[in-house]
A and B are shown apart, each in its own frame.
Chain A
Amino acid sequence: MNEKNVIICRCEDVTLRDVIDAIRSGITDMESLKRKLQFGTGPCQGKTCIPLVEKVLARELGKKIGESGKITSRPPESPVPFGIFESSGEEK
């Protein structure tokens, strides 16, 4: 398997190779990995990539999933148009 061809984060175009390289460069917690590679910051809100990175990180460090920190999930659950939240003049 060529790790360069395995896409971990489709929104931000992060490969398995990128994740492994970052971990081996010494970044060993989920939050710092996210900030380095910026996976989980696209429109899918990390629903695909975060569990995958957690698994790779656990495997690389020989730890259990979740032992190296969790990423805070932010609202909204899925992207919503700004227009939905606009309040009309009368409601004020």
Chain B
Amino acid sequence: MKSKDVVIIGAGITGLSVAYYLSRNGVRNIAVIDKSFPGSGSTGRCGTGIRQQFTTREHIVLMRESVKLWREWETSLPLSVHFRQGGYLWLLETEKEVSNFEKYVKLQNLFGVESRIIDKYEAKQIVPDLDIESIAGASWCPTDGNAYPFDTVEALKLALKNYGTEINAFEEVVGIETRGGAVKSVITNKETYSTNLVIDAAGFGARKIAKMAGIDLPLKLYRHQIAVSEPVKVFLEPMIVKGELYFTQTYRGRIIGGTDLNEPETESLQSTERFLEKYATELLSVMPVLSSLNVMRQWAGFYVVSPDHHPILGGTPVSGFLVATGFSGHGFMLGPVIGKLMAMYVLHGIMYLPEANNLGLDRFKKGKLIEEKAVIG
């Protein structure tokens, strides 16, 4: 039996980021537990993108703050996370889409995100290899960008190691004990941790973990696939989005991207040829010059989707059992701000960004859902 001030379940970007901000603020008696290796779930499978072009106040404000923190991480973590502000270029096919995005841009500008609508010729100036024939315009935000998931995990691991915070990989949580409606201990296949505070950051396992504490999280798992190309000299810094397609180039030279097959819920992580066909077709319609580039590898990961496509953050009916999940495909980009929000919530009992108060689990009971229109890939 070990005694811990905080037990964090899940060593993806969310769990590691919460542990980082807690450690930075003096809480060191923490255990981060993962059933596999750090970054083995959705973090290591993600599409690298970091954007602020959303359609709700909650997402826009959280992501604006997260971009600020990504910039900090790039300079203050012990290793580079390769955060790059290459921008997001969102291609729009019809005048109607353009007029919708004009409204989103207004909202984004109101909350301090410098996005704007541009015409197709300006889009072509930003990315000369684009085929702009079928484009009516684009939504462009130069401060959006991407970072490298494996490097981010390595940087956070090293930061935690320097603080003396333990990460227990390959250890599986099998039970959570509560007494009188409060958390008492976390039981794994190797150890029992006595603790008053548990943070469920288990990504696609978050629902299962919450069930152990008697809490039902309204989460669904959707498989999404990604492919990367062989490396070529970096020529593309923005993330390009068009409809369900998104792609960019990593600092290691690979074109990385995906699209949506609109599949029903599944527990399978098998990758499919159907994905590759749809992705290649959409990719080449936007950037025909990539036709002879070799696709090197494809894989699948989960979007852990909440009923309104927004995160579920903070307390639950079980005292001391907190959740940070339901990112609906945006967990990596939100990682820094979620870590800081949750750590501040643990230390001070409040969400330091008021918008995060709208993201509690109780909103589903109260019927206070938030609608996000901009979910891609």
CB interface residues, B 236-268, toward A, < 8 Å: 252
Instruction: Name the contact of B293 in the complex, choosing from A29, A41, A81 (C-beta under 8 A).
Output: A81
**Contact residue range for chain B?**
20 to 34
Contact string against A for B residues 337-363, beta-carbon threshold 8 Å, 1 for contact and 0 otherwise: 000000000000000000000000000
Provide the bound-state CA to CA distance between A38 and B273, in Å.
25
A75: interface (CB < 8 Å): yes
- 10 closest residue pairs by CB, A with B: A79-B294, A85-B280, A83-B291, A35-B150, A74-B297, A82-B280, A32-B37, A43-B230, A79-B296, A85-B276
Answer whether A82 and B293 are a contact pair too, CB < 8 Å, given A31-B40, A35-B39, A35-B150. yes
Contact check, B296 vs A83: say whether CB atoms are below 8 A apart. no
Instruction: Name the contact of B298 in the complex, choosing from A32, A42, A74, A84 (C-beta under 8 A).
Output: A74
Provide the bound-state CA to CA distance between A79 and B44, in Å.
21
Q: Can you list 7 residue pairs at the A/B interface with Cβ under 8 Å?
A: A74-B299, A76-B297, A81-B295, A82-B229, A83-B284, A85-B281, A86-B277
Chain A positions near chain B (C-beta within 8 angstroms): 29, 31-32, 35-36, 38, 41-43, 45, 72, 74-76, 79-87
Residues of A within 8 A of B36 (CB): 31
Answer whether A31 and B37 are a contact pair too, CB < 8 Å, given A42-B231, A82-B284, A87-B281. yes
**Which DSSP category, helix, strand, loop or mixed, fits chain B's interface?**
mixed
CB interface residues, B 163-186, toward A, < 8 Å: 169-170
Provide the bound-state CA to CA distance between A72 and B280, in Å.
23
Contact check, B280 vs A83: say whether CB atoms are below 8 A apart. yes
Q: How far is the CB of B242 from chain A (nearest CB, A)?
A: 15
Q: How far is the CB of B275 from chain A (nearest CB, A)?
A: 10
Instruction: Name the contact of B295 in the complex, choosing from A31, A38, A72, A79 (C-beta under 8 A).
Output: A79
Residues of A within 8 A of B39 (CB): 35
Residues of A within 8 A of B292 (CB): 81-83
Answer whether A35 and B154 are a contact pair too, CB < 8 Å, given A29-B37, A83-B284. yes
Provide the bound-state CA to CA distance between A90 and B25, in Å.
60
Provide the bound-state CA to CA distance between A83 and B295, in Å.
9
Residue of A nearest to B294 (CB): A79
B38: interface (CB < 8 Å): yes
Contact string against A for B residues 124-168, beta-carbon threshold 8 Å, 1 for contact and 0 otherwise: 000000000000000000000000001001100000000000000
Provide the bound-state CA to CA distance between A87 and B38, in Å.
38
Residues of B within 8 A of A75 (CB): 271, 273, 297-298
Contact check, B277 vs A85: say whether CB atoms are below 8 A apart. yes
B283: interface (CB < 8 Å): yes
Provide the bound-state CA to CA distance between A72 and B36, in Å.
14
Residues of B within 8 A of A43 (CB): 230-231, 294, 296
Residues of A within 8 A of B38 (CB): 32
Provide the bound-state CA to CA distance between A87 and B229, in Å.
18
Answer whether A36 and B280 are a contact pair too, CB < 8 Å, given A79-B295, A86-B291. no
Contact check, A82 vs B283: say whether CB atoms are below 8 A apart. yes
Residues of B within 8 A of A72 (CB): 299
Contact string against A for B residues 284-323, beta-carbon threshold 8 Å, 1 for contact and 0 otherwise: 1000001111111111000000000000000000000000
Provide the bound-state CA to CA distance between A82 and B273, in Å.
12
Q: A32-B37, A80-B294 are in contact. List 10 more A-B contacts (CB 8 A).
A: A35-B154, A36-B150, A45-B296, A72-B299, A76-B298, A82-B280, A82-B291, A82-B292, A82-B293, A85-B276
Contact check, B153 vs A76: say whether CB atoms are below 8 A apart. no
Provide the bound-state CA to CA distance between A79 and B284, in Å.
17
Most interface-central of B37, B38, B230, B283 (chain A CB within 10 A): B37
Provide the bound-state CA to CA distance between A29 and B40, in Å.
12
Provide the bound-state CA to CA distance between A35 and B291, in Å.
29
Provide the bound-state CA to CA distance between A18 and B281, in Å.
39
Instruction: Name the contact of A36 in the complex, choosing from B44, B154, B291, B293 (C-beta under 8 A).
Output: B154
Q: How far is the CB of B258 from chain A (nearest CB, A)?
A: 13
Residues of A within 8 A of B40 (CB): 31
CB interface residues, B 205-255, toward A, < 8 Å: 229-231, 252
Residue of A nearest to B290 (CB): A82
Residue of A nearest to B148 (CB): A38
Provide the bound-state CA to CA distance between A31 and B39, in Å.
10
Provide the bound-state CA to CA distance between A38 and B37, in Å.
15
Residue of B nearest to A84 (CB): B280
Residue of A nearest to B37 (CB): A32
Residues of A within 8 A of B294 (CB): 43, 79-82
